[in-house]
């Protein structure tokens, strides 16, 4: 049995009267792809933001590789091996594709209080960045401004940026959102390629993506996790069917 | 073509600037030497502001503070009979850096309109401090009786020598500025401007980088202040007036925030225009104002955008 990489205990977050995370318990094992699904407004993005340190919980704890990281900021978590992609694409539009990825490499290789040497001339930043762009299929686009990429390419760039930080845990917030069929297939292929080598948390609406990628699935409804299990268990879980999957699975 | 323009324009600019003392002597118009030297000093100040404004996205509305601190550092030492230029200028740079550290440490915790107002408020405090200290002339200011002394090295009373010193410092600032924005450090402050959330998510806390940039910009502007007080041979709290901060911002925006040389173009355009219009009519600001509005509306990337058009 794999050991636990991320452990969430009794996480609670409210915005006024809205309870967005209601005593969430979650356990993510090293090497697994763990999907979090749930209807709109279930609190998926709120949960992932608390995991990444972009939001802080009112109560509860987040443990990463045994260390309590509940109070750590997003950059501090990133340095410990968290990487995330955002539901709304978050890149540097005015940097080239290569610069986007090189900067993420830079964040994890030595001090950035260096004022003299042009960063673009550093082979130790450039070659890992190029290798990652190769991996995600953007090698031919490295000199293009990120703003000029197609939507699907920008999503792939965001994954590349996350990978460049050499993360232990990758948090993906709806990686196929807004994509066409072909782009979605390409992204699923990319994620299956990453899967296994990395621990992934996948928040996703697209059930094809979830059921083809996830080792385990947690179902979030009104801020509560109502079930966690293998895809086939989740598919037949009556509570899940009632709360969420309903007609989509029955059909 | 574009890359050739990129190489030719700075070289041509440098040759033109280097020829100004000769031209002024031939035409017997020493006034031009004075004018261009003053413009270059403001160009250094504007260039320093652009490091945080254009590259760092920190809209500091108080950058004139460091012009003032640099000028007062020289003026106050001279007031007590210390005329050594190395000491004076080192104090100008050091004191500006310290003031920038204090102002930056507080203001960089805020953002948007709060950042603008806090930097403005700090500068106004320094302005009123300058007005209130009678020992240093209060709001009348005081004369700099003796210019900074660099024995055996350079005599600032020699107008040409002083001119070339300012030109050399400007060129050095351009060169170092370009190194800075291309370096690892420069990439981080540009990234934090472009997308702060992404920058935090890959592992950078922007604060220390922004603060360091703020201090560097303040120190360089402090040096410009030391040059300015030697140039005018006079010192007043007006150096720190908020309108002065506004002028520096305008030079940056007019010249272009996306290149190191942009603010230099902005300084030349603004101050030459000001000079030409004020010679023509007393109400020159009525003409300058609309011209500036038009330039902001139609030159999105400033004058530098016209000269160094990117081929994307």
The CATH number of the domain holding residue A36 is: 3.40.50.300
Domain boundary among A166, A193, A213: A166
Whole-complex ipTM: 0.91
- Are residues A11 and A110 both part of a single domain? no
Tell me, what's the pLDDT at B305? 84
Q: Which residues of B touch A119 (CB under 8 A)?
A: 182-184, 186-187
Q: How confident is the model at residue A251 (pLDDT cuts 50, 70, 90)?
A: very low
The one-character DSSP state at B139 is G
Tell if the CB–CB gap between A52 and B201 is shorter than 8 Å.
yes
Tell me the CB-side half-sphere exposure of residue A80, using CA atoms within 13 A. Answer: 19
Interface mutation target, options B186, B196, B198, B202, chain A, most CBs of A under 10 Å: B202
| Length of chain B, in residues | 312
Angle between helices B2-26 and B159-182 (to 10 degrees): 160
Min Cα–Cα distance to chain A from B204, Å = 5
Q: Are strands A216-221 and B142-143 parallel, antiparallel or unpaired?
A: unpaired
Domain shared by A58 and A34, yes or no: yes
How far is residue B257's CA from residue B54's CA, in Å, rounded to a whole number? 4
Do A152 and A207 sit in the same domain of this protein? no
Chain A residue whose CA is closest to B179? A116
Residue B306 has pLDDT above 70, yes or no: yes
B179 interfacial to chain A (CB closer than 8 Å): yes
Sign of the Cα torsion B275, B276, B282, B285 reads negative
Average pLDDT over residues B113-132: 96
Q: Which residue has the higher pLDDT, B103 or B111?
A: B103
Q: What is the CA radius of gyration of chain B?
A: 19
Nearest to A25 by CA among A240, A228, A245: A228
pLDDT at A39: 85
Q: Maximum distance among all alpha carbons in chain B? A: 61
Domain that includes residue A105, residue range = 91-166
Instruction: Give yes or no for B164 touching A (CB within 8 A).
Output: no
Rg (CA), chain A: 18
Q: Would you state the pLDDT for residue A205?
A: 84
A176 and A248: one domain? yes
Q: Are both A67 and A191 inside the same structural domain?
A: yes
CA–CA separation, B124 and B244 (whole Å): 11
For B189, nearest residue in chain A (alpha carbons): A112
Let me know whether A204 and A177 are in one domain: yes
Q: Does A86 map to a domain?
A: no
Q: Is B195 on the interface with A (CB under 8 A)?
A: yes
Q: Is A154 in contact with A127 (CB distance < 8 Å)? A: no
Q: Are residues A208 and A162 in the same domain?
A: no
Looking at the predicted structure, is the pLDDT value of residue A247 above 70?
no
Q: Are residues A238 and A227 in the same domain?
A: yes
Q: Are residues A227 and A241 in the same domain?
A: yes
Chain A environment of B191 (Cβ under 8 Å): 92, 95, 103
Do A99 and A220 reside in the same domain of the chain? no
Domain count, chain A: 2
Strands (E), B99-199: 142-143, 149-150, 154-155
| Contact across the interface for A113 and B205, Cβ inside 8 Å | no
CA B41 to chain A, closest CA, distance in angstroms equals 24
Among the candidates A139, A166, A193, a domain finishes at A166
Do B179 and A115 lie within an 8 Å CB cutoff? Answer: yes
Q: Would the CB atoms of A112 and B200 count as touching at under 8 Å?
A: no
How would residue B264 be classed by pLDDT, with cut points 50, 70 and 90?
very high
């Amino acid at each position: 049995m794999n050991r636990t990489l991320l452990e969430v205990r009794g996480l609670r977050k409210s915005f006024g009267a809205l309870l967005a995370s209601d005593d969430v318990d979650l356990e993510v094992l090293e090497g697994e792809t763990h999907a979090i699904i749930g209807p709109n407004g279930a609190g998926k993005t709120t949960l992932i933001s608390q995991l990444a340190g972009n939001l802080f919980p009112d109560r509860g704890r987040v443990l990463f590789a045994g260390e309590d990281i509940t109070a750590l900021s997003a950059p501090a978590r990133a340095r410990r091996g968290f990487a995330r992609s955002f539901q709304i694409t978050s890149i540097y539009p005015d940097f080239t594709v290569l610069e986007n990825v090189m900067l993420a490499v830079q964040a994890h290789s030595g001090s950035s209080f260096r004022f003299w040497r042009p960063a673009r001339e550093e082979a130790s930043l450039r070659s890992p960045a190029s290798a990652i762009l190769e991996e995600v299929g953007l090698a031919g686009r490295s000199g293009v401004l990120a703003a000029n990429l197609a939507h699907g390419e920008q999503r792939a760039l965001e994954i590349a940026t996350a990978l460049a930080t050499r993360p232990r845990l990758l948090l993906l917030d709806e990686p196929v959102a807004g994509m066409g069929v072909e782009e979605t297939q390409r992204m699923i292929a990319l994620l299956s390629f990453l899967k296994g080598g990395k621990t992934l948390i996948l928040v996703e609406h697209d059930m094809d993506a979830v059921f083809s990628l996830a080792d385990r699935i947690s179902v979030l409804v009104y801020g509560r996790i109502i079930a966690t299990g293998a895809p086939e268990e989740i598919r037949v879980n009556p509570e899940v069917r009632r709360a969420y999957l309903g007609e989509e699975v029955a059909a | 073509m574009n890359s050739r323009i990129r190489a030719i324009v700075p070289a041509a600019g440098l040759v033109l600037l280097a020829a100004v003392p000769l031209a002024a002597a031939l035409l017997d118009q020493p006034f031009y030497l004075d004018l261009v030297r003053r413009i270059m000093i403001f160009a250094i100040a504007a260039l320093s502001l652009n490091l945080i404004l254009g590259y760092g996205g920190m809209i500091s509305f108080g950058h004139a503070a460091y012009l003032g601190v640099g000028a007062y550092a020289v003026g106050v030492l001279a007031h007590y009979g210390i005329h050594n230029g190395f000491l004076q200028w080192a104090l100008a740079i050091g004191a500006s850096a310290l003031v920038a550290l204090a102002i930056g440490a507080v203001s960089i915790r805020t953002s948007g309109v709060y950042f603008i107002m806090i930097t403005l408020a700090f500068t106004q405090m320094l302005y009123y401090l300058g007005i209130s200290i009678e020992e240093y002339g209060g709001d009348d200011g005081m004369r700099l009786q003796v210019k900074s002394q660099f024995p055996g090295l350079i005599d600032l009373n020699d107008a040409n020598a002083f001119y070339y010193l300012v030109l050399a410092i400007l060129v050095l600032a351009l060169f170092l500025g370009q190194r800075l924005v291309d370096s690892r450090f420069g990439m981080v402050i540009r990234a934090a401007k472009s997308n702060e959330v992404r920058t935090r998510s890959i592992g950078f806390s922007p604060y220390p980088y922004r603060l360091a940039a703020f201090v560097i910009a303040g120190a360089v502007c402090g040096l410009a202040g030391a040059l300015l007080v030697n140039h005018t041979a006079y010192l007043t709290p007006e150096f720190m007036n908020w309108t002065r901060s506004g002028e520096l911002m305008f030079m940056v925006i007019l010249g272009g925030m996306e290149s190191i040389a942009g603010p230099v173009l902005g300084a030349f355009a603004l101050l030459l225009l000001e000079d030409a219009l004020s010679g023509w009519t007393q109400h020159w600001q009525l003409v300058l104002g609309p011209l500036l509005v038009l330039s902001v509306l139609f030159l999105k990337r400033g004058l530098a955008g016209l000269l160094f058009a990117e081929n994307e």
